[in-house]
Amino acid sequence: MRMLPERISFGPISFLKITRKQNKEILEFILAEFQVFLPLPAVNSYLMTKGLLGRDIDEEIKILREVFTIVEVSDQLIRKMAELGGALVKEGIVPNFSDLITAASAIITESLLVVNDKKVKDYEIFSKYGLDVISYTKFLEEIESLAEEEAKRVAK
């Protein structure tokens, strides 16, 4: 079993999945155990979805800020994006902008990036620059294992 770090970030699709109603208990456990960071693409995807459902976007932003740490645009983030993008272009790879800002956000927050299973390969290009990435499915397996350990510990 992989030892999960104290800090995690979610990619856009994985954040949409973890915030579904049926995952409420899992999300509550995650929030109790980890510091959770949200890169701007995850925030944007979430708010677009809420907007499509007719929700008050300002209220949703307020809730996100109360519960999660949104990775704001900063000189540090911009610098990391430029460094990553430049290094990859030198290798002949032009990264997707959403992936670039998501990866840079996870790197500067020193957090494990949880991404949709199909996106893991897209993010592996950032691994040699300090990105730690895990698939959503593998992350949930690890969380389930942690929750079981916690339940056993509490039951003693």
Q: How far apart are CA 54 and CA 114, in angstroms?
A: 27
pLDDT digits (tens, 9 = 90+) for 63-75: 999 999 999 999 9
For residue 2, the model assigns a pLDDT of: 54
Q: What is the pLDDT of residue 3?
A: 76
- Percent of the chain at pLDDT above 90? 90
> Which pLDDT does position 1 carry in this prediction?
46
Mean predicted confidence (pLDDT) in 133-146: 95
Distance CA 104, CA 32 (A): 25
Domains and CATH numbers, the chain: 7-151 (3.40.50.1010)
Please enumerate in sequence order all residues whose Cβ is within 8 A of that of 93, keeping only pairs 6 or more positions apart, or say none.
Answer: 125
Cβ–Cβ under 8 Å, residues 117 and 136? yes
pLDDT confidence tier of residue 93, bands split at 50, 70 and 90: very high
CB burial class (10 A; 0-12, 13-18, 19+) of residue 12? buried
User: Chain-centre distance of CA 107, in angstroms?
Assistant: 11
CB atoms within 10 A of CB 127: 11
Global confidence as pTM: 0.93
**The predicted structure's pLDDT at residue 154:** 80
Summary mean pLDDT of the chain:
95
Per-residue model confidence (pLDDT) at position 156: 73
pLDDT band at 155 (very low <50, low <70, confident <90, very high): confident
pLDDT in tens, 6-45: 999 999 999 999 999 999 999 999 999 999 999 999 999 9
Over residues 115-124, the pLDDT tens digits come to 999 999 999 9
Cβ atoms of residues 125 and 88 within 8 Å:
yes
